[in-house]
Chains A and B, each alone.
Chain A
Amino acid sequence: MRRVGIVGAGGISRTHADRWNQMPGVELAGFYDIIEDAAQRAVQRSGGKVFGSMNELFDAVDYVDVCTPGTAHVQPVIAALEAGIPTVCEKPLANSVADCERIVEVAERTGTPLFVAMVVRFFPQFAKAKEVLDSGAIGAPGVIRTVRSGSYPDGGSGWRKGLAITSYYADFAQSGGVLLDLCIHDIDYQRWCFGEIERVFARGMMFAGKEPKDHALLTVRFSNGAVGHIEGSWSYPRGRFSTRIEIAGTGGILEWDSRTRPPVEVALAQEDGSLASSGSSPTAPKDDPYYAELAHFVQCTEAKEPFLVTPYDGLMAVKISRAAIESLETGRPVTIS
């Protein structure tokens, strides 16, 4: 039995804890958070114990899962790596390129496994799209377009209301707005599909004084000449969350849109004559992307195999997101060094 401890008891920790609790051979040891109340609440809902310090947690676990906000990754991640404990780090690897580089340096020096949780690579439709591209079915890479757009993450679900993370997102200097929080997924995914990125150009609302609303449209040029487009939004009306993939190549095209008709639709007549309808797209538990990424971490760690997402990938995703923010500030394309 492997024991995992979660550092940081905010939003994403609940998602991770649920998956750890489902995973055979893994036990959730508990939580550490600088806000003890938060750790207490997390333990109440997800189990395990409250650790009084990070070192106390490190002493009790085989894996560390860092779920703090991006600005607070560097310290626990480096500490866990120095302690030799295989570590999951929620994305972004860190909020600054310099912090990412420190983390990558420690990971390389210590050789401790570090997995950056770029979960989009584990979404079955995104993974399948990459597989189809790699199969050659649509030819060589040409244009890739992805969308990740919704409303501001401020507690559409009640449990999130009042969490520190809500104001964290709205403080773009901290969170990096949609470019660092949301588009980073698409940057990583597109880079995974099409290879290294040469330059980015961004337009967006990050500096438009509309916080917490944000919205960005990115154009990407890859080293192989292909181009990419990314939309990320915290300005869509609530309930209209949307993700899309479109990859065009020399031999064809593939598309997926979360807005197309779901495989299960429930339409129920209400007593007042109105309609209550909902849709879902169920998958097997093991194909849940959060479960899949954490299971991948365990499998690779135990087999001493490299992860699908390397610390360098995590660094590059932050570097390119930061370049996009720089493009917004300067109004010019930014070349990735």
Chain B
Amino acid sequence: MTRELESLNEVRLGMFSFAHMHAASYIHFLAQMEGVTIAGIYDDDYDRGGRIAAQYNVPYFRRADGLFDQELDGAVICSENALHAPLVLQGAGRVGAILCEKPIATTASDGQEMIDRCRETGTKLQIAFPMRFAPPVMELKQQLDAGVLGEIYSVKSTNHGSMPGRWFADHKLAGGGAVMDHTVHVVDLLRWFWDTEVEEIYAEVGRELLHPGLGIDDVGLLSFRLANGVFGTLDTSWSRPPSYPTWGDVKLDVLGEQGLISVDAFEQNLQVSSNEAGKTSDVNWGSSGDEGLVADFVAMIREDLEPSISGEDGQRALEVALAAYESARRVEPVALPI
């Protein structure tokens, strides 16, 4: 055991913002990993940053610069979507690697600038698509690679969610509502499954359909065709109300010549009925994709590997979300790349 510990190079990470709730999960797993040091937490929200810093007994930084100065091997950026770009541009060249929460940015130009700057400065940019590490999704990928379905016809998918509120409903910070929030995970999986691209997208986007007064889109129904000929749909809607047993879902039904594979990535649950909660909730006991994602990020740093999920992967997924909005505006299918 001691020998193993010695053999692991220390990896020093900084956590930049807990605006996105995934950061809490990432730090939870990172803090447990051998040889990983959380060098500090930056957050522009003093209360939030201070609380989490205290919880993990690590320094809190009021300014991102202060944390970038801590001889970091890597930075984990989970700010509001629109603030990914300034943080990544600030960190490029100062840290060896960046794990950036999805979507990469709110505009294609921001995303491209992030990719270019990281390349120029030799900083590795990885985008956080943890669904690639969720075991039910990995099992689907294996079955697809084994070719059990024969010719693939179609994919019906959903990435439903609860309405997250806060900055997620602020166009300036989020870049869009449900479509921006929930297009990229599944699009990344589709690209990954078949090493292909979304070639055409049609979208029906609903604004304030489920949450009157929200001020942003809360319903998205995307219909796509992939370059490999597979067609499908993706429902990105924030259609899970507070009374629902869980936050949402990631579901994929892949139909092929030989049959159907249905994946419900968050179906490994206990049903917990609580008088205090006033409802029955799904409590997931499945293996977390977040854990696999951060372990992959640490391994990339330690073993000097290329990112398994690159900035370009993040950019392609973002472009699909932007094209979906464009399609809804024009009420016609939009071809990609735009």
For residue B204, which residues in chain A have a CB less than 8 angstroms away from its CB? 201, 219-221, 227
* Closest B residue by C-beta to A238: B259
Question: When the two chains form their complex, are residues B244 and A225 in contact, meaning their CB atoms are under 8 A apart?
Answer: no
| B279 → A minimal CB distance (Å) | 11
* Closest A residue by C-beta to B229: A208
| A61 → B minimal CB distance (Å) | 44
Question: When the two chains form their complex, are residues B260 and A250 in contact, meaning their CB atoms are under 8 A apart?
Answer: no
Question: When the two chains form their complex, are residues A333 and B243 in contact, meaning their CB atoms are under 8 A apart?
Answer: no
From B154, B210, B221, contact of A215 by CB (8 A): B154
Contact mask for chain A residues 239-269; partner B; CB cutoff 8 A; 1 contact, 0 none = 0100000001111110000000000000000
CB-defined A-B contacts under 8 Å, sample of 16: A142-B210, A142-B237, A143-B219, A143-B235, A143-B239, A199-B331, A201-B333, A203-B154, A203-B233, A205-B154, A217-B154, A227-B209, A237-B258, A240-B260, A331-B333, A333-B332
**B135 close to A (CB within 8 Å):** no
| B286 → A minimal CB distance (Å) | 19
* Closest B residue by C-beta to A147: B156
Q: Which residues from 293 to 338 on chain B have a C-beta closer than 8 Å to any C-beta of chain A?
A: 331-333
Contact mask for chain B residues 213-231; partner A; CB cutoff 8 A; 1 contact, 0 none = 0000001010101000001
For residue B225, which residues in chain A have a CB less than 8 angstroms away from its CB? 203
A-B pairs with beta carbons under 8 A, tally: 96
Q: Given A143-B206, A217-B231, are A203 and B260 neighbors across the interface (CB < 8 Å)?
A: no
In the A-B complex, the 9 residue pairs with the smallest Cβ-Cβ separation, listed nearest first, are A248-B239, A237-B259, A142-B210, A203-B231, A142-B209, A227-B204, A217-B233, A219-B221, A252-B241
**In the bound complex, how far is the Cα of B232 from the Cα of A176, in angstroms?**
20
| B117 → A minimal CB distance (Å) | 38
| B263 → A minimal CB distance (Å) | 14
Question: When the two chains form their complex, are residues A142 and B219 in contact, meaning their CB atoms are under 8 A apart?
Answer: yes
Question: When the two chains form their complex, are residues B243 and A252 in contact, meaning their CB atoms are under 8 A apart?
Answer: yes
Question: When the two chains form their complex, are residues B206 and A229 in contact, meaning their CB atoms are under 8 A apart?
Answer: no
**In the bound complex, how far is the Cα of B221 from the Cα of A143, in angstroms?**
9
* Closest A residue by C-beta to B207: A225
Question: When the two chains form their complex, are residues A235 and B153 in contact, meaning their CB atoms are under 8 A apart?
Answer: yes
**In the bound complex, how far is the Cα of B156 from the Cα of A233, in angstroms?**
12
Contact mask for chain A residues 212-225; partner B; CB cutoff 8 A; 1 contact, 0 none = 00010101110001
* Closest B residue by C-beta to A251: B241
**B202 close to A (CB within 8 Å):** yes
Q: Which residues from 177 to 235 on chain B have a C-beta closer than 8 Å to any C-beta of chain A?
A: 202, 204, 206, 209-212, 219, 221, 223, 225, 231-233, 235
**B240 close to A (CB within 8 Å):** yes
**A145 close to B (CB within 8 Å):** yes
Q: How many of B's residues come within 8 Å of A, CB to CB?
A: 31
Question: When the two chains form their complex, are residues B219 and A227 in contact, meaning their CB atoms are under 8 A apart?
Answer: yes
**In the bound complex, how far is the Cα of B332 from the Cα of A215, in angstroms?**
22
- Interface of B, secondary structure class, is strand
Given contacts A208-B153, A217-B156, A235-B153, 18 further A-B contacts (CB under 8 A): A142-B206, A142-B219, A143-B209, A201-B202, A203-B232, A205-B153, A215-B153, A217-B223, A219-B233, A226-B209, A227-B206, A235-B255, A237-B258, A248-B239, A248-B241, A333-B331, A333-B332, A333-B333
For residue A188, which residues in chain B have a CB less than 8 angstroms away from its CB? none
Q: Which residues from 77 to 101 on chain A have a C-beta closer than 8 Å to any C-beta of chain B?
A: none
Question: When the two chains form their complex, are residues B233 and A229 in contact, meaning their CB atoms are under 8 A apart?
Answer: yes
For residue A231, which residues in chain B have a CB less than 8 angstroms away from its CB? 156
Q: Given A229-B233, A236-B255, are A143 and B202 neighbors across the interface (CB < 8 Å)?
A: no
Q: Which of A143, A219, A252 has the most CB of B within 10 A?
A: A143
For residue A128, which residues in chain B have a CB less than 8 angstroms away from its CB? none
| A144 → B minimal CB distance (Å) | 10
Question: When the two chains form their complex, are residues A248 and B210 in contact, meaning their CB atoms are under 8 A apart?
Answer: yes
| B150 → A minimal CB distance (Å) | 12
For residue B156, which residues in chain A have a CB less than 8 angstroms away from its CB? 217, 231
**A332 close to B (CB within 8 Å):** yes
From B206, B210, B223, B235, contact of A145 by CB (8 A): B235
For residue B154, which residues in chain A have a CB less than 8 angstroms away from its CB? 203, 205, 215, 217, 235
Question: When the two chains form their complex, are residues A233 and B255 in contact, meaning their CB atoms are under 8 A apart?
Answer: yes
For residue A145, which residues in chain B have a CB less than 8 angstroms away from its CB? 235
Question: When the two chains form their complex, are residues B210 and A229 in contact, meaning their CB atoms are under 8 A apart?
Answer: no
Question: When the two chains form their complex, are residues A250 and B211 in contact, meaning their CB atoms are under 8 A apart?
Answer: yes
